[in-house]
Amino acid sequence: MTNPFAPSSSKPGHGTIKLALLPPSTPILQTLSYQYPLKLISPPPLRASNSSNPILIHAVYLLTYGGGIVAGDTLDLTIHLARRTRLTLLTQGSTKIFKSTSRDIISRQRTTVDLESSAALCYLPDPVQPFARSAFEQTQVYNLRGGDGSLCVCDWVCEGRSARGEKWGCWRYTSKNEVWGVNEEGKRRLLLRDNLLLEEGGLPDDGFVGRMDGMGVFGTLILRGPHFKTLAEHFVSEFALLPRIGGRKWDAEEEKLSVEEERRVMRQEQETKDGLLWTSASLRGFVLVKFGAREVEGAKRWLREMLIREGTVEREFGERALLCLK
């Protein structure tokens, strides 16, 4: 007997999000489809509270059944943002990578985002948490069609279940972020590639903990485009204002600090307490921020101080874009 229904176009683990622009300026969520084990949930769109241009901002939660990725799962998410639309991608709690039965069974996640001109994406997920003896590869590809797409994307990973004594005990963890410029003729050029490789080999077999220098979490924050210009400048200027390493303060006299300066000093003291190191660099139209800390909590504290107090993310995308830092 033939099947009377048209074959489903969705495949296991596949998801699609499409934001379109209804003229003159109403963004709508045109497509939201997903297949087990991926689940996408979209709360009602919000208007950014005090943005100069109060456009509707959509948000989508990326969820997986069981709150994590089971060995052998393959997730494939495709996102298309029409020009001038804005999307917030969110997770609910860290993405757990459950242990694999063998080194060869690798779970994978691939996210491809097409941004047309002036579209903006804010993707601040919780950190990925690869359990001991897990194997996971993820790739995030951002295609900028037209020059001025905006990105604020964080990718961070922690040592595993710290409470159970796990310290970078995964078998394999790789995470790659690529940003491509695509011109009118469809010619692609790589603008940025950030690839973290924790894989066997290269170093004597002491797991990965020997190369971490006591850090329990590492992250990369990628900033680009007009929406995040002031935020990017904030990171660059705060990095420039970090005290010199190995310098001494000869002048012991108490200076009078402004409120802003006092907060900065407090943040820097907290960085030291949390064993947090960070850098920022302006290159190829991006500001790339890298950070590492002893514990996830310390890294969160720092991101909160840097992102929430500065205000750009909340102004442009609303408070919920910062959910992962709560």
Partner 1 sequence: MTIEDEIADLEQKLQTARNRLNPKPSNRPIGMANSSNTSALHTLLLLADSQLPLGSFAFSSGLESYLAHHRPSPLSASQLPSFYNFLRLSLSTLSSTALPYVLNAYRYPNTLEDLDNDFDASTPCTVARRASVAQGKALIGVWDRSYRQHHKGSLDHVESVKVLSSFHKSLRHGGIQGVEWQSNGHLAPLWGIVTLVLNVPLYESAYLFLFSHARTVLGAAVRSSVMGPYQAQAVLASSDLQNQINDLVQEKWDRKIEDAGQSVPVMDLWVGRHEKLYSRIFNS
Task: List interacting residues with partner 1 (CB under 8 A).
Answer: 174, 176, 181, 189-199, 201-204, 211-213, 215, 218, 220, 239, 242-248, 277-285, 288, 290-292
Q: Containing H/E element for 174?
A: strand 172-182
Cβ proximity to partner 1: between 123 and 278 the closer is: 278
Cβ proximity to partner 1: between 28 and 212 the closer is: 212
> Least distance to partner 1 from the beta carbon of 272, Å?
12
> Least distance to partner 1 from the beta carbon of 60, Å?
28
* Residue 20, token pair as written in the block: 């379109």
In angstroms, the Cα distances linking 100 to 104, 127, 138 are 9, 19, 16
> Least distance to partner 1 from the beta carbon of 52, Å?
28
Helix runs in 86-228, H state only: none
Cβ proximity to partner 1: between 25 and 183 the closer is: 183
> Least distance to partner 1 from the beta carbon of 292, Å?
6
Cβ proximity to partner 1: between 56 and 287 the closer is: 287
Q: Containing H/E element for 222?
A: strand 217-224
> Least distance to partner 1 from the beta carbon of 58, Å?
29
Task: Note the residue count of the chain.
Answer: 326
In angstroms, the Cα distances linking 171 to 68, 70, 102, 130, 216 are 17, 14, 9, 9, 16
Closest CA relative to residue 266, chosen from 304, 234, 313: 304
Cβ proximity to partner 1: between 10 and 195 the closer is: 195
Between CA 173 and CA 131 the distance in angstroms is 10
